[in-house]
A and B are shown apart, each in its own frame.
Chain A
Amino acid sequence: MKPVMKTVMTRESLVDRHLGFVQALREAGLPVSLAEGLDAAGALTVIDLADRNTLREAYAATLVKRPSYRPGFDMLFDLWFPPVISDGTGADPDADPDRDTGERRDRAADLEHAEIPELRDRLADLLMDDPDDPAFREFARAMVERFGRVQAAAGRQSWFSFAVIRALSPETLTARLLGRMLTERGGLPEKIARQRISRNIARFQEEVATDVRRRIAEESGIEKIARSTVKPPIDRIDFLRVTKAELAQLRREVYPLARRLATRLTIRNRLGRRGRLDFRRTVRASLSTGGVPLTTRLRPKRPHKPELVVLCDASDSVSTFSHFTLLLTFALREQFTKVRAFAFVDTVDEITKMFAPGTDVIDAISRMAQEADITRFGRTNYGNVFERFAERYADAVGPKTSLLILGDARSNYQAPALDTLKRIAGRARHAYWLNPEPRAQWDTGDSVATGYGSVVPMYECRNVAQLAEFIETLK
């Protein structure tokens, strides 16, 4: 499918494009209902279609109702409503209309022939400026045109962003830019300047990647590229396959999540307000209705204070998962009065103190790795862990406790100590096991998922969405 300029779009092609876009969003996992699609279509009739930013925001306002869907939406929007098309017929609708087109053509020709040092100078200038300037995107596009074409196979060429980035290597401009921004190095100003530079460089790489995707889409169809590039929203990303950048993003999800869980739990507690009749307050209330007790007042129910004991696998195989759950434990600590946390690899140690409220969570995690006595031979051994736990911390689990075990139940073919776990879980009010592995992989290899699952109910917990779902069932 060839992208069509919106300005020359007929009504039919606009409707087709709209339907195709909505369909693509649904395929990417965005829940777009029929009513919302109609809203978006309605919005198209009142806005200026030639203004691409307005079009994008109009679609976003009507179809994207959750911030975690926005990156995927933006990516698809760029594919379905590209800002330019490659054969040079379309002018960039984002560009300043007042600017002389002749001048722009000159500059474009300039970019086609300029030497690499010259181009790097220009990139340095752009990185100093506001990245929202249309010239920034124009430059990225010209660079893809010039460097992005790579011979993929005999007789087939494709577009790649690494070729562009390698040719210009924007990262190596940092020192030069710092020199231009600051009179003296060091301290806070340098930190801030560095951050600004790396933000703009990331933005440049993003623009390049967007343009590369657009070109690929032009050559081999939108559907194909859309399927391979649109990543699942952050709350659906698998804990075990998370990248470093995504982990940082996940960390930001933790506090809202913990707060949400805490409010959820308190709301649950307050539901069913049918306590005993509060006679005094009922009579007092009846005075305003002339002694007729129109409304009855009930005593509030005595709140149940949940205690939480978390046993967390800290071995390397589940490190990203445990990293996340430790953060969650930490966040929960600030919401609940009594949370005790234990970490283990092949023996177990209490880490509650390291996660005291007010300490820095990142520090706490690195401290845990160094100080806590959780490793003997470095291979996960659930059996030994449960034995040691029962021996040393038997008092931690009582009739008011909810016990939460986090781990993949892979015990390296050691004895699982099921009886011990049964004893521990039996003393707790509730016990749950969260397993970050997909259910299909349970019981394969050294996994004892079903064995442990028969003692402690086991839940699949592969992403934030599943975790949130689980905690809503928590009592």
Chain B
Amino acid sequence: MWFASPDEVRERLAAVDYLADDGITTSVFLAGALGKPLLTEGPAGVGKTQLAKAVAAATGARLIRLQCYEGLDEARALYEWNYKKQLLRIQADDDAWDDIFSEEFLLERPLLKAIRSDEPTVLLIDETDKADVEVEGLLLEILSDYQITIPELGTIVAARTPYVVLTSNATRELSEALKRRCLYLHLDYPTPERERDIVLAQVPGLPASIAEQLARTVAALRVLELKKSPSIAETIDWARTLLALGRTELDETVIGQTLGVVLKHNSDQARAAKELGLPARS
């Protein structure tokens, strides 16, 4: 058992500075209780990866991370045979043909490592949408039965069910088969109230009044139709910037000067300046 109840999830995540709402606590709890992988989807910078790290930190489990990218294949995700060692063995011993496919020559990659781990493990499969469609097929066996079939060795069943978190930015639709096997958590931008608390938790020393103003301003920015809405991570950066600059008040001039921290497109900055009535940047 990973957690006893959603409330316990909230407390233990809060202890590692991750503030969760009802949606997060319930799905994190269910993922542990039902032993199902948790798929988190949402815009960049809302704490999807951070959630997996927080779960690992809160439970004291080992975090194994598989970063997905285009062209990721079996050899880098699952396992690989150590060709060099196998060749050397064959050259050294002519009768070795039969035993070059054994444990000794197996190179563990993140998925296999997570399956074979004896200690509690959180497996983070990051940015699943970046990988090719074939990789999803590869994941299906692992995610539904927690086992891996290696033709030469047979099926390896998980010693201990890992806690699996998948993240996706929704740059493409993940396959129905994958979604069906997972619990789904859509992480979106938080309410101003929650964002204020997050900023306060992440940036110690920031006055509460500034955090409040920041959260409200960022909420106002997100309503505008921007190319890239500011993420929580960027709000936190903004808070750190203000702290470093020693500002105690968030007025139009300060926002105008530091807007680059949260808005990274020129057209977005121009639009925000126009809509919110900020002084033009020199």
User: Which A positions have Cβ atoms within 8 angstroms of B?
Assistant: 31, 33, 35-36, 39, 42-43, 46-48, 51, 53-54, 56-58, 60-62, 64-67, 70, 130, 132, 187-188, 191-192, 195-196, 248, 251-252, 255-256, 259-260, 263-264, 267, 270, 288-290, 292, 294, 358-362
> Which residues of the other chain, A, contact B225 by a CB distance below 8 angstroms?
248, 251-252, 361-362
Tell yes or no: B186 within 8 A of A by CB: yes
Please list 14 pairs of residues, one from A and one from B, whose beta carbons are closer than 8 Å in the complex, sorted by A's number.
A48-B5, A53-B22, A56-B22, A60-B184, A61-B185, A62-B184, A192-B216, A195-B219, A256-B171, A260-B172, A263-B172, A358-B265, A358-B266, A359-B267
> Which residues of the other chain, A, contact B267 by a CB distance below 8 angstroms?
358-360
Say yes or no: B26 contacts A58, CB within 8 Å: yes
Say yes or no: A289 contacts B278, CB within 8 Å: no
Interface residue from A31, A54, A255, A256 paired with B22 (Cβ < 8 Å): A54
Task: Give A361 to B268 CA distance when docked, in angstroms.
Answer: 11
Digit string of B229-244 for contact with A (CB within 8 Å is 1, else 0)?
0000000000000000
Task: Select from chain B the residue with minimum beta-carbon distance to A195.
Answer: B220
Interface residue from A51, A53, A196, A256 paired with B192 (Cβ < 8 Å): A196
Task: Select from chain B the residue with minimum beta-carbon distance to A198.
Answer: B223
Say yes or no: B6 contacts A47, CB within 8 Å: yes
Task: Give A361 to B227 CA distance when docked, in angstroms.
Answer: 10
Say yes or no: B84 contacts A288, CB within 8 Å: yes
> Which residues of the other chain, A, contact B132 by a CB distance below 8 angstroms?
267
Say yes or no: A67 contacts B41, CB within 8 Å: yes
Task: Give A248 to B223 CA distance when docked, in angstroms.
Answer: 10
Q: Which of A65, A70, A196, A294 has the most CB of B within 10 A?
A: A65
> Which residues of the other chain, B, contact A192 by a CB distance below 8 angstroms?
216-217, 219-220
> Assuming the A-B contacts A188-B252, A191-B220, A196-B216, are A57 and B186 also in contact, with contact meaning beta carbons closer than 8 angstroms in the complex?
no
Say yes or no: B270 contacts A360, CB within 8 Å: yes
Interface residue from A61, A255, A288, A360 paired with B271 (Cβ < 8 Å): A360
Task: Give A196 to B5 CA distance when docked, in angstroms.
Answer: 33
Tell yes or no: B15 within 8 A of A by CB: no
> Which residues of the other chain, A, contact B191 by a CB distance below 8 angstroms?
132
Digit string of B4-25 for contact with A (CB within 8 Å is 1, else 0)?
0110000000000000001101
Say yes or no: B227 contacts A187, CB within 8 Å: no
Say yes or no: A259 contacts B171, CB within 8 Å: yes
> Which residues of the other chain, B, contact A270 by a CB distance below 8 angstroms?
70
Closest-CB distance, B144 to chain A (whole angstroms)? 10
Say yes or no: B30 contacts A58, CB within 8 Å: yes
Digit string of B183-200 for contact with A (CB within 8 Å is 1, else 0)?
111101001110000000
Say yes or no: A61 contacts B217, CB within 8 Å: no
A sample of 14 more A-B contacts (CB under 8 A), given A248-B225, A267-B132, A360-B270, is: A39-B36, A46-B29, A54-B6, A57-B27, A61-B184, A62-B30, A67-B41, A132-B193, A187-B252, A188-B251, A188-B276, A191-B220, A252-B225, A264-B172
Closest-CB distance, B41 to chain A (whole angstroms)? 7
Task: Give A203 to B78 CA distance when docked, in angstroms.
Answer: 48
Task: Give A56 to B176 CA distance when docked, in angstroms.
Answer: 22
* Pairs of residues from A and B, 5 with the lowest C-beta to C-beta distance, nearest first: A57-B26, A61-B27, A65-B179, A65-B184, A46-B33
Task: Give A51 to B70 CA distance when docked, in angstroms.
Answer: 42
Tell yes or no: B170 within 8 A of A by CB: yes
> Which residues of the other chain, A, contact B154 by a CB distance below 8 angstroms?
none
Task: Select from chain B the residue with minimum beta-carbon distance to A193.
Answer: B216
> Which residues of the other chain, B, contact A264 by a CB distance below 8 angstroms?
172
Closest-CB distance, B224 to chain A (whole angstroms)? 10
Say yes or no: A188 contacts B217, CB within 8 Å: yes
> Which residues of the other chain, A, contact B87 by a CB distance below 8 angstroms?
289-290, 292
Say yes or no: A47 contacts B30, CB within 8 Å: yes
Closest-CB distance, B55 to chain A (whole angstroms)? 15
Task: Select from chain A the residue with minimum beta-carbon distance to B184.
Answer: A65
Closest-CB distance, A33 to chain B (whole angstroms)? 6
Say yes or no: A188 contacts B278, CB within 8 Å: yes
Interface residue from B30, B91, B170, B188 paired with A43 (Cβ < 8 Å): B30
Task: Give A296 to B89 CA distance when docked, in angstroms.
Answer: 23
Q: Which residues of B155-206 have CB atoms within 8 Å of chain A's CB atoms?
A: 170-173, 176, 179-180, 182-186, 188, 191-193
> Which residues of the other chain, A, contact B266 by a CB distance below 8 angstroms?
358
Interface residue from B22, B182, B252 paired with A57 (Cβ < 8 Å): B22
Say yes or no: B23 contacts A260, CB within 8 Å: no
Say yes or no: A36 contacts B180, CB within 8 Å: yes
> Which residues of the other chain, A, contact B6 by a CB distance below 8 angstroms?
47, 51, 54, 57
> Which residues of the other chain, A, contact B23 by a CB distance below 8 angstroms?
57, 60-61
Say yes or no: B83 contacts A191, CB within 8 Å: no
Closest-CB distance, A250 to chain B (whole angstroms)? 11
> Which residues of the other chain, B, contact A267 by a CB distance below 8 angstroms?
70, 132
Say yes or no: B33 contacts A256, CB within 8 Å: no
Closest-CB distance, B199 to chain A (whole angstroms)? 16
